[in-house]
Structure 1
């Protein structure tokens, strides 16, 4: 199967941002124990490109529109860094700031290989957000390792059967939902994603979008603390995602208030996996951007209780899903309106939490020790982002941020506050917000 069609609006937005400075592209980072052979990895990437139609496509300009084209697509490039003093964080920052040459191919891979008695590799896969979401990007990383193992042990029989092409998601939305949005569109102009006022972190330095870059902080939570958080969330009748959002919202409110305000209006963007809601439902093995979001609005004032806020986030997400708000991004995205307001982010906070990553740990001689992801956010201004995965009992958190909009020093303070709120709450301490 091949992909030859115009990009849908939700696919155009990532390409527009990619062309500015690589924003919105997803980089998956894996720590792998065991030797990775460059030639075998290239073979695995060749097969992966045959498996997924979007990986065997590129984006071209056709008049006033952008199109997926399956002709003259280049192989997925592999860059190997041997015995380098570079750390994976440095490579990840490079990747989320580098434009994907979408007229050639829509993904690239870096292998950071450290030689020694205990061979440790880092595999970083960067994928265009127009063809993948975080969930399918992590599944892709697992598929690459699985193909590598099968090639290494002579188990793989080629050729690989290409998965079916995924049409624009509007075509897979239930008819009742589709009809409802079409009626709204015919009776009114396209609505922006957000209409409620909210406050953001503020610009430390304002520069044009094309001059911004993306920084990143990384944190991990050990197995004991991760399990304690899970248990406490159950006791408090909320979700881990609700708790993560509450921690981020309180940290953002503390920065915004700066001890001068007694009330802050903030909101939180939570991505939602659309796969279960489509007809037919889609599996995680399909590489595509099958995601929307719910934006919850909150008023934080003196004596705001942490767990009340976490439950509030959970309830608003559930209401958004039940009310069909998750389909708004497919039918109401106004790219021009978003791109012509470069200094107005979509939300105060955005938390992408994939929860427990359900992929294998062992691939023959290779052992997957860590897996997490980050997205480029250079163009997105003073919005607070967090991407989260849980694997083998540990929680991995990445915090991308726009520079020089926010400085690394400011982000360190905000992140420390967020994790402090989260830790105190999970230990059963009564966390009350104090400006």
Structure 2
């Protein structure tokens, strides 16, 4: 196993950007980490994976950090020497990984301890059958898109560790990548701070364990159905993402068993990378924001009409000037030093939803890595603390579209969660016939 020369890695010490700080504060009041699962086929050993994690950690600076608080009680990313934790469990069934993801999401990070990432391998006993690699990250350092590239890097390092890529530079906060900075924006370049010991009036507070269980279910569309859905969306002048939002909104309406019209809200995660300047598309970093759309669903609401409504509302909110305004609003808000509880309450007020769809879209990453093949990406899986916790992760890999649904038991039973998922897929399948 080649040794890792940490002197070649870029040292990390920078303050959290405004939205990284928002996610950090949210996490202190209610856990806000997420998991992405890669289903892989092929032979590899646990030592190979451990070596690959070490190489990936060297490449991506934010995989080596903890969060420290300076004397002004402002958070910074600070590099530490801890390795990425790896838990290996024997694969017991096709759904085993879903139970492991439920445990991962229910287990909070200690943000004062590095690293802010951990990995679970659900490993087949003979090493030749399917295995699942679960990567869980604190949301202040990463989003779902960036973790897909991390998974790619891990698999590349398993296949060809001697040809692994060079270390990347420390990713800046997304506010620093906005093409036109607001005049009042304050530079985040500060002198080296003095960090407080985590004791006394400011100490690490682990979020209280939630008294409800989380249910994870998954599904996929065949290559033929995926292609038909893409084609039909073009004909209907809408997007695949909007159609998925419409399908889950209609499935929720059907599950409510009411003939009355229903007002439902859908939140969509937005990838900011195409709007920012000089952004490394493959960094492990946080470059996402959320937008809500509002819909009145009647008993005769058509999926394609609903999808066009979703797309129209998202197009209006995704104009670059509105997205940048949202970024600067976050900066202004953080300048008031809100408490974790205030951040959580504002999050609930502004982003409360009946369903949230985080669509990683079509992943432009390879699937074959030596003897290892990437067969599916499931997720992201996350809980945000809103009242109607229904979160759908979507990813298209190769020619197939994959869904992952996480629900709180306070919203529905496990059987109802599975039914909701199946109903949404059924509605999509029927709509393209």
Residue deviations 1:140-166, cap 9 Å, x none?
000011011112xxx337xx6321112
Q: Distance in 1 between matches of 2:407 and 2:11?
A: 35
Give yes or no for the alignment of 1:322 onto 2:315.
no
1:3 equivalent in structure 2: 12
Given that 2:379 and 2:392 are in contact with CA atoms closer than 8 Å, whether structure 1 keeps it comes out as no
Give structure 1 stretches of 5+ with no counterpart: 183-207, 428-435
Which residue, 42, 49, 55 being the options, matches 1:47? 55
Give yes or no for the alignment of 1:274 onto 2:272.
yes
Residue deviations 1:65-84, cap 9 Å, x none?
322111x3311111122365
1:238 equivalent in structure 2: 238
Three-state SS of the structure 2 residue aligned to 1:218 is strand
Q: Distance in 1 between matches of 2:347 and 2:359?
A: 26
The size of the alignment, in residue pairs, is: 390
2:84 equivalent in structure 1: 76
Given that 1:36 and 1:121 are in contact with CA atoms closer than 8 Å, whether structure 2 keeps it comes out as no
Q: Per the alignment, do residues 380 and 233 of structure 1 end up closer, same or farther by CA in structure 2, a change over 3 Å counting?
A: same
1:168 equivalent in structure 2: 173
Give yes or no for the alignment of 1:147 onto 2:144.
no
Q: CA deviation at 1:130?
A: 1.0
Q: CA deviation at 1:310?
A: 0.8
Q: CA deviation at 1:96?
A: 1.6
Q: Distance in 1 between matches of 2:291 and 2:410?
A: 28
Three-state SS of the structure 2 residue aligned to 1:259 is coil
Which residue, 361, 367, 370 being the options, matches 1:364? 370
Given that 1:273 and 1:291 are in contact with CA atoms closer than 8 Å, whether structure 2 keeps it comes out as yes
Q: CA deviation at 1:169?
A: 1.4
Q: Distance in 2 between matches of 1:84 and 1:424?
A: 34
1:29 equivalent in structure 2: 37
Q: Per the alignment, do residues 306 and 340 of structure 1 end up closer, same or farther by CA in structure 2, a change over 3 Å counting?
A: closer
Q: Distance in 1 between matches of 2:288 and 2:384?
A: 21
Given that 1:226 and 1:395 are in contact with CA atoms closer than 8 Å, whether structure 2 keeps it comes out as yes
Range 398-407 or range 285-294, more displaced: 398-407
Given that 1:14 and 1:25 are in contact with CA atoms closer than 8 Å, whether structure 2 keeps it comes out as no
Q: Distance in 1 between matches of 2:97 and 2:310?
A: 33
Q: CA deviation at 1:323?
A: 5.7
Given that 2:102 and 2:215 are in contact with CA atoms closer than 8 Å, whether structure 1 keeps it comes out as yes
Q: Per the alignment, do residues 45 and 223 of structure 1 end up closer, same or farther by CA in structure 2, a change over 3 Å counting?
A: same
1:259 equivalent in structure 2: 258
Three-state SS of the structure 1 residue aligned to 2:318 is helix
Q: CA deviation at 1:245?
A: 0.8
Residue deviations 1:285-335, cap 9 Å, x none?
111011112222222234222111111211221221226332344233456
Give structure 2 stretches of 5+ with no counterpart: 1-9, 186-207
Q: Distance in 2 between matches of 1:66 and 1:117?
A: 42
TM-score, normalised via structure 2 length: 0.82
Q: Distance in 1 between matches of 2:147 and 2:56?
A: 12
Give yes or no for the alignment of 1:65 onto 2:74.
yes
TM-score, normalised via structure 1 length: 0.82
Q: Per the alignment, do residues 402 and 14 of structure 1 end up closer, same or farther by CA in structure 2, a change over 3 Å counting?
A: farther
Three-state SS of the structure 2 residue aligned to 1:210 is coil
Given that 1:378 and 1:401 are in contact with CA atoms closer than 8 Å, whether structure 2 keeps it comes out as no
RMSD: 2.5
Q: Distance in 2 between matches of 1:19 and 1:338?
A: 10
2:223 equivalent in structure 1: 223
Three-state SS of the structure 2 residue aligned to 1:324 is helix
Q: Per the alignment, do residues 297 and 117 of structure 1 end up closer, same or farther by CA in structure 2, a change over 3 Å counting?
A: closer
Q: CA deviation at 1:20?
A: 5.2
Given that 2:174 and 2:286 are in contact with CA atoms closer than 8 Å, whether structure 1 keeps it comes out as no
Give yes or no for the alignment of 1:313 onto 2:322.
no
Q: CA deviation at 1:378?
A: 6.0
